[in-house]
Chains A and B, each alone.
Chain A
Amino acid sequence: MSLSRRTLAVVGLLACLAPVAHAGESPRALVEKMAQQAVDILGNRSLSSDEKRHRIEDLAYANIDFDTMSRLVLARNWSRLSPAQQEEFVKLFREHLALTYGRNIESYNNEKVEVVGERDEGRGDWSVKTKILRGGGSADVLVDYRLRQENDAWRIIDVVIERVSLVANFRSQFQEIMSDGGPTKLLEVLREKNAKGEPLKSDGS
């Protein structure tokens, strides 16, 4: 019977798709899930600051495409870096973000996150708009995530906080360093900055 053969085919196809069903989730679902996980980690009193920081980092690594983000941040300067330098830049930049945002782990005060909208940005990008609820009105913080799809999976390529894009902001800062001293200087500055940011444990609780 052609029908049952087709059914079989469909079942077979579904079985093949099942392992990647997670990867195929919508950008909105991804952001919602990530926000929920972050809130769960931050609000979990049985975790130490360090454990929280590690889990948040893992969460970020799973959802953020640091390779694309790094290329966007450097824009036309990207090609001035050798492949080895590019690799190091991605690593250092990711570390820098982890250090910067890791500082705020202890400031968490039961804020909730709400997805307030989404938008097709065209050319395969998608924006998910969220709000960190801190008492309403101007106290709330608007955070938009821009996601790009690659191999069927959506990953975050920019975070726009109160209309200030992280990618654009770092681009302007790195541009100045690049025009002053080129790739070597850029990596040197990043290394130095990260080394200075290291003693985080004295911070917070």
Chain B
Amino acid sequence: MRPRRFVPLLAVVLALSGAMVARTDEGAGSERDPLEGFNRKMFWFNDKVDVYVLAPVASGWEKVSPRCVRTSVSHFFGNLRFPIVAVNDLLQGKVKASGSDVGRFAVNTTVGVLGFFDPASHWGLIEHREDFGQTLGVWGVPPGPYLVLPLLGPSDPRDAAGFAVDYALAVTPFFIEEYILVGARVVDTVNERSFVLKQVEDAKASAFDYYTFVRNAYLQRRHALVRDLADTTEENQQLYYPEFDREEKP
């Protein structure tokens, strides 16, 4: 999964979505999903992979490993994301946050024993969540239509491009062989999945349409992460003050 392999995929994606970009930037529903037919198929495929492979493996891992072990593994991989977070903080002009990320990495790699523990959080160096998809959003690049990628799941052209760049950022500083990275990614994914076994099951059971549920959650969350703060914009007004609501109350 070298970054250059994403280029053809991205080219296809962007060609598919280019024309729609302008119309599909706002909202978090079907208006953002002109490729719904394709997306639903891909979503179904990913779900099968999850149900038959990922979730059982994660469930096995959950049974044999105490929570503290899984948390440490999660911290370890989180620590390795440091170049992504620090660089993207910088690219978004958050210099102070970027400095804090560097400090976090230094503390957790040393005191935190190669990142398996997270003493930095207790020292006020809290974890930030940044990626290049968000950076592009901050720079004003529109997200384009919702897009479900094979194995990677919910995305959009902006986040797919961001993912490729972040991947390069994560790899380059460590000079690691590709097969090790793929292995690491598998372990990371299984481990993270083990934390949400029940949540995913519950979400599936309670959602009226699991596809719509996930799409909306993804679009809302990415939108909020780009803005960083809750907003009092048009959408928010539509959400909390629909027109009918101003008149009568039952």
Contact = CB atoms under 8 A, between A and B. Distances in A.
B71 A163 contact: no
B208 A174 contact: yes
A137 B212 contact: no
B28 to A, nearest CB: 6
A163 B224 contact: yes
Contacts of A146: 240
Interface residues of B, number: 41
Given A104-B202, A139-B71, A165-B220, A177 B230 contact: no
Contact of B71 (A135, A157, A171, A176): A135
Interface stretch (B56-64, B121-129, B164-172): B121-129
Contacts of A157: 240
Interface in B227-250: 230, 232, 238-245, 250
Contacts of B121: 136-137
B228 to A, nearest CB: 10
Main secondary structure of the interface of B (DSSP, over half): helix
A78 B28 CA distance: 19
Main secondary structure of the interface of A (DSSP, over half): helix
Interface in A165-191: 165, 167-169, 171-177, 189
B205 A76 contact: no
B118 A100 contact: no
Contacts of A100: 202, 206
Ranked nearest first, the 6 interchain pairs of A and B with the lowest CB-CB distance are A163-B224, A100-B206, A172-B216, A172-B29, A75-B242, A136-B121
